Structure formats: C-alpha cells, structure tokens
Amino acid sequence: MQLLVIRHALAEDAGPGRDDTARALTDPGKAKLRQAVRGLRALEIQFERILTSPWKRAAQTAELLAPIARAAPIATDLLTGPPRPELLAMIAERNETTAVVGHEPWLGELGAWLAFGDPKHGDALIIKKCGVLWLEGTAVPGGMQIRASIPPKLLRAIR
C-alpha cells in the first residue's frame, strides 16, 4: 500500500485562551497548499481515501486535497494524539493509496512506527507544515519503507 502522511498547512497562531482544535488555515497557508496539490498531481498521486484529524486546520487541509482524492475525507479522533494500534488497523483495513492528515509530533511518531518499528524515533522524521512523508508497504510496525520525504517548498516547485 501507499501511505502519504501529510502535515496540515499553515494555520492561525496558537495563543492563550484559544481553542487549539479550532485554529483555521491562514490564507497564505491555503494558497501554498493549493500549489502543493498541483505538485502532487504532477507526480500523478491520487488518493483512494483521506483519513484526517477532525481539528479544523487538518480538516481544511484534507478538504483542499479533494482535487486528487476519489472520496470525501474521513475524520478520526485517532489522529489527535500519539499513534495507537487502532490507527494502524484503520489505515490497513484497505490496501489502497491513503493520505493521513494531522499534526506533529504524532505524524512523525506514526511514520517512525511504520518505518522503524518504534514511534520513539519520530523526531528523526521532519514533516514541515504542508509537507509529505511517502511510505510504502504494509501498515504494521516496521512494515513500511520511506519512499520519499517531500518538503512543501519542493512540492510547490514541481510542475
């Protein structure tokens, strides 16, 4: 299976008294994400499904991936904390190209768990906002290989 782990695009700043789950994408964040989607399309990437955190900035990122998705995003609270076996089961339930949209440090931990067999090495994987970690293999601990780590600047430059 192909799994693309995508960090949400640039969002409003966090601050005291602000609900972190309600932070929206900024206009520059949306514009950069649209350019990144063009880069993914140029790489001929299309998702059969998108799993997303329900937090606003991730859900908005997943919605903007719609031009390269065959189905509407599926929100799951499993992407709002450290990766758990239930998330791996959800990813693995279909053997198809899947995007996972969420937040750091949990996405790095997910990538490390799948590629190295241990989520403790998540800080070894840098996923910038709107960046992509492309994995291939079986969605079990240590069952995937890193195919590419694509920073957002490179995605936006692909034509």
Give the model confidence (pLDDT) of 80-133 as tens digits. Answer: 999 999 999 999 999 999 999 999 999 999 999 999 999 998 999 999 999 999
Average the pLDDT over each of 11-15, 20-24, 129-133 and give the range with the smallest value: 11-15
Q: Which amino acid is at 127?
A: I
Q: Is there a domain that residue 98 lies in?
A: yes
pLDDT at position 17, please? 84
Cα of 20 vs its chain's centroid, Å: 18
In a domain, 66, yes or no: yes
- Tokens representing 38 are 């063009």
Q: Is residue 106 part of a domain?
A: yes
Query: Is pLDDT at 159 greater than 90 in this prediction?
Result: no
Which residue range forms the structural domain that includes residue 101? 2-12+22-157
Q: Is 3 exposed, middle or buried (0-12, 13-18, 19+ CB in 10 A)?
A: buried
Q: Indicate the average pLDDT of the chain.
A: 96
Q: With bands split at pLDDT 50, 70 and 90, how would you rate the model's confidence at 79?
A: very high
CATH of the domain at 32: 3.40.50.1240
Does 59 reside within a domain?
yes
17 within domain boundaries: no
Is 18's pLDDT higher than 90? no
Q: How many domains does the chain have?
A: 1
Residues in Cβ contact with 44 at an 8 Å cutoff, skipping those fewer than 6 apart: none
- Using the 8-state DSSP alphabet, how is residue 14 labeled? P
- Is 0.75 topped by the overall pTM? yes
Closest Cα to residue 127, out of 44, 1, 8?
8
